Amino acid sequence: MIDMLKIGTLKWYHILDPSDQDLQYLRDNFHFHPLDIEDCKSHNQRPKIDIYDDYYFLILHFPHFDRSNRFLKTKEVKIFWGNDFIITIGKSHWVVKAQFNQAKEDPDSDIYEVGTSDALLYKILERLMLETLTLIRRIGTEVELINRQLFDKRAERTIERISVTRKNIILLNTIFKPQLRLFHKFESGEIEGYATNMEEYWGDILDYYQKSWDMTEDFAELIEGLSKTFDSLQTNRINEIIKVLTLISSILLPLTFITGLYGMNIGLPYQNQGFAFWIVAGVMLVVVVVMVSYFKRKRWM
């Protein structure tokens, strides 16, 4: 279904989940390249900007949380950008859909203040960048929470948080890194657009993107350091447990030998005497005291 918003002489078309009829309409009325129409049919396209004489075709990737609100996924934003039109197409990021619906329902929306397709594209990209920054800050909050819980004894929960956060950061890296060079094309002038004096606006978009990339790299280093610290803590805890168990076993070993020796069904010295038990118990107590004193002197316990 093709939905349209008119802003003066500018038109913004929004097509969610396009049908073959919708794509045929674009082919017949805008004469887009057939390969671009094919890209609109498929998913998981690489980010790119195709430059033509009378329009640009953009495929951009932005992150969003899945239904469980835990794991990040990649959403494609496909945009046809011409002199007097913007077409957002496909199962685009929810931000684009929300922005379009908000402008359609609110006559006082700032969308109606734009006068060129370049300005409208800037508004769409700015909204996406702001939403992305909010999402990345949420990842940063998760990293800070992991840092606070690092010394918590509930290791399973911390391991799960580290694993989920690391997975999300890796996805952010795979989204941002390939597109950084793409957004540089706007500021450098390689993407000329249709309006003048847009350099500062494109530079603002690049600043948003660069900030997102820098924050993602910082969080990646932090989560890597926290992961290594957590692994060291867990290794140290395991070593301490093994150490305690080893010391206990070392103390019990001679006691087990003594009790095993006097438990044999053979004749032993003083076995028929009443004080034999107290002698054996006293020897065992002395052994325990000597071994504990030795371990403490060696600072093993």
Domain boundaries along the sequence of the chain:
2-235, 245-297
pLDDT of the residue at 93: 64
Residue 274 confidence (pLDDT): 65
DSSP β-ladder status, 10-15 and 48-51: unpaired
Write down the architecture of domain 245-297 according to CATH.
Answer: Up-down Bundle (1.20)
Predicted local distance difference test score (pLDDT) of residue 272: 65
Buried b (16+ CB within 10 A) or exposed e, 83-118: eebbbbbbebbebbeebbeebeeeeeeebeebebbb
| Residues in the chain, overall count | 301
Q: Which residue has the tokens 């045929």?
A: 24
According to the model, what pLDDT value does residue 265 have?
65
Q: Decide if 49 contacts 39 (C-beta within 8 A).
A: no
Mean pLDDT by 10 residues, the chain (301 residues): 86 88 89 90 85 92 88 91 90 79 83 86 91 92 87 78 91 89 82 84 89 92 89 83 86 82 67 71 84 80 72
Report the distance separating Cα 131 and Cα 122, nearest Å.
14
pLDDT at 188: 79
Whether 56 and 50 have beta carbons less than 8 Å apart is answered as yes
* Architecture category of domain 2-235 in CATH: 2-Layer Sandwich (3.30)
What local confidence, expressed as pLDDT, does residue 283 receive? 81
Looking at residue 200, what is its pLDDT?
Answer: 85
pTM of structure = 0.78
